[in-house]
């Protein structure tokens, strides 16, 4: 891409290709154009003599999507740092003004979500569940006088953010800006009691209708970015990011970044052929497996791995998978299938250990692919 194009030519070139638009702005052309149409329609953003609404929105999305400062970003748009900052905050305030349109609470009369109704593991036990709540500690930059209040679990200041979402992964409520030292129960109480707070269709009191997650279970990615905005702007950015997530979720039928998160949240794995291909590349220099013993170990072949994963996928569809792994019945069936297909005498422990190895190798590949800029 020619960085010496004029700003109008640059934005025009970016919005001519879905790939370029997604790489720079994290949304495709249709999603970007619809966002511009909405912001222009509500009257919060207007074309100026020198800068269109399209360019103003592109500046904001570029900075937020890639966590870049005004100085490197202005190289693309040919504006001064002051102008970049002004348009950035104009778009930020315009997006925040649409909070009521994008953050919608679940209705008391709403039907059971299909993600629960169609899942035999959850239906009918969670038929009255309307969503999920979780908190996150985000790195924040505050003045020296406020650092002590924002110190939490890490060595740097944190803001405690609480968010609620539905089962189609759309945010319904976001509470940002709390000090990192504040307890989760206190923040949840504030989220319920404040105006337009989190609603519980089954009523009150506090915590009566909330199920806590498993302890010692990780529900988030360990990714820390250095903040570069003021406290007030950082608080707004958290809410704006959630609003943009809902916008993208509603317009784009397929998004690679969101699908990576979907797979992690739903504990899904990639298709069997993708897993085997990654393992084949990793093990290309290893001896060819034939199911025979090498000392005290079994050397697994690609065909054996396929058989194991396909059988476990079938057992998961039959309801023999729990949150922390598979039931014993699933491993017994998988062992039986392997033994009959390859004339082996594998035990349950062989299948359990092999699955751990597969997960470990695939997790390394998945982490590499999830890094920003990796292709």
Parse the chain into domains and list their residue ranges: 7-97, 101-253, 269-370
pLDDT above 80 (res 338): yes
Q: Report the 10 Å Cβ neighbour count for 242.
A: 22
The pTM of the whole model exceeds 0.75:
no
User: What CA–CA distance (Å, rounded) separates 313 from 302?
Assistant: 16
71, 83 contact by CB (below 8 A): no
Closest CA to 63 of 38, 81, 42: 81
Most confident of 189-193, 223-227, 241-245: 241-245
Q: Report the 10 Å Cβ neighbour count for 345.
A: 10
**Of 114-123, 291-300, 322-331, which range is least confident?**
291-300
**Of 48-52, 66-70, 109-113, which range is least confident?**
109-113
User: What CA–CA distance (Å, rounded) separates 103 from 143?
Assistant: 31
pLDDT value of position 214:
47
Q: Report the 10 Å Cβ neighbour count for 140.
A: 25
> pLDDT digits over 251-265, tens only?
887 777 766 666 665
pLDDT value of position 264:
61
pLDDT value of position 92:
93
> pLDDT digits over 143-164, tens only?
888 888 877 767 788 888 888 8
Contacts of 257 (CB under 8 A, 6+ apart): 26
> pLDDT digits over 78-132, tens only?
888 898 899 999 999 999 998 888 888 777 666 777 778 888 887 887 877 878 8
287, 299 contact by CB (below 8 A): yes
> pLDDT digits over 17-47, tens only?
788 888 888 888 889 999 999 999 888 899 8
DSSP H or E run through 263: helix 256-265
């Amino acid at each position: 891409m020619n960085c010496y194009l004029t700003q109008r030519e640059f934005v025009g070139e970016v919005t001519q290709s879905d790939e370029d638009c997604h790489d720079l702005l994290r949304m495709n052309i249709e999603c970007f154009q619809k966002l511009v149409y909405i912001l222009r329609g509500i009257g919060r953003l207007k074309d100026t003599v020198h800068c269109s609404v399209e360019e103003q929105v592109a500046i904001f999305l570029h900075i937020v999507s890639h966590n870049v400062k005004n100085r490197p970003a202005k190289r693309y748009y040919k504006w001064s740092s002051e102008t970049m900052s002004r348009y950035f905050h104009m778009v930020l305030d315009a997006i925040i003004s649409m909070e009521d349109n994008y953050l919608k609470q679940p209705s008391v009369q709403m039907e059971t979500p299909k993600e629960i109704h169609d899942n035999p593991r959850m239906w009918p036990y969670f038929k009255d569940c309307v969503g999920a709540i979780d908190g996150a500690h985000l790195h924040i930059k505050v003045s020296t006088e406020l650092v002590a209040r924002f110190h939490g679990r890490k060595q740097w200041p944190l803001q405690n953010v609480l968010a609620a979402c539905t089962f189609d992964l759309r945010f319904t409520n976001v509470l940002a800006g709390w000090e990192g030292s504040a307890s989760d129960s206190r923040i949840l109480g504030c989220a319920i009691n404040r105006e337009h707070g989190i609603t519980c269709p089954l009523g009150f009191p506090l915590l009566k209708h909330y199920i806590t997650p498993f302890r010692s279970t990780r529900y988030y990615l360990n990714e820390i970015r250095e903040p570069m905005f003021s406290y007030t702007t950082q608080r707004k950015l958290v809410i704006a990011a959630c609003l943009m997530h809902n916008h993208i979720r509603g317009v784009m039928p397929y998004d690679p970044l969101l699908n990576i998160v979907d797979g992690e949240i739903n504990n899904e794995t990639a298709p069997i052929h993708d897993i085997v291909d990654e393992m084949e590349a990793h093990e290309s220099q290893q001896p060819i497996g034939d199911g025979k013993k090498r000392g005290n170990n079994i050397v697994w072949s690609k065909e054996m791995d396929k058989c194991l994963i396909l059988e476990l996928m079938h057992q998961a569809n039959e309801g023999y998978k729990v949150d922390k792994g598979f039931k014993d019945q699933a491993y017994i069936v998988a062992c039986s299938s392997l033994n009959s297909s390859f004339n082996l005498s594998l035990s349950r422990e062989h299948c359990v250990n092999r699955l751990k190895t597969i997960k470990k190798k695939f997790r390394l590949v998945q982490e590499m692919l999830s890094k920003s800029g990796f292709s």
